[in-house]
Amino acid sequence: MSTFVDACRRARVDRTPVWFMRQAGRYLPSYRKIREEKGILEIAKDPELASDVTVDPVRQLGVDAAVVFADIMLPLEGIGVKFRIEENLGPVIDNPVRSKEDVEKLGDFDPEEQVGHVLSTISLSVDKLAGVPLVGFSGAPFTLASYLVEGRPSREFSLTKKMMYSDPDTWKLLESRLSKLASAYLKAQIRAGASAVQLFDSWVGCLSPGDYAAHVASYTRDVFRGVGDVVPKIHFCADSSPLLEQFAGTECDVLSVDWRLPIDTVWERTGGRKGVQGNLDPAAAAAGGNAMEDGVKDIMRKARGKRGHVFNLGHGVLKETPPENLKRVVEMVHGERGE
| Residues marked as catalytic | 22, 26, 35, 71, 147
C-alpha 106/C-alpha 294 separation (Å) is 48
Cα(79)–Cα(43) distance, integer angstroms:
21
Binning the chain into helix, strand and coil, the percentages to the nearest 5 are: 50, 10, 35
Task: Count CB-CB contacts under 10 A for residue 123.
Answer: 17
First to last CA, the chain: 16
DSSP 287-316: H-HHHHHHHHHHHHHHHTT-S-EEB-BSSP
Please choose, from the candidates 65, 68, 69, the residue with its C-alpha nearest in 3D space to the C-alpha of residue 17.
Answer: 65
Return all residues near 227 (Cβ < 8 A) that are at least 6 apart. Answer: 183, 186, 187, 190, 197, 233
The secondary element (H helix, E strand) that includes residue 156 is: none
Q: Which residues of 93-108 are buried (b: 16+ CB within 10 A; e: fewer)?
A: beebbbeeeebeebee
Cα 257 to chain centroid, rounded: 11
Q: How many helices (H) and strands (E) does the chain have?
A: 18, 9
Q: Whole-angstrom Cα distance, residue 302 to residue 100?
A: 47
Closest residue by Cα to residue 125 from 233, 197, 195, 48: 48
Amino acid at 62: G
With 0-12 CB in 10 A as exposed, 13-18 as middle and 19+ as buried, what is 196?
buried
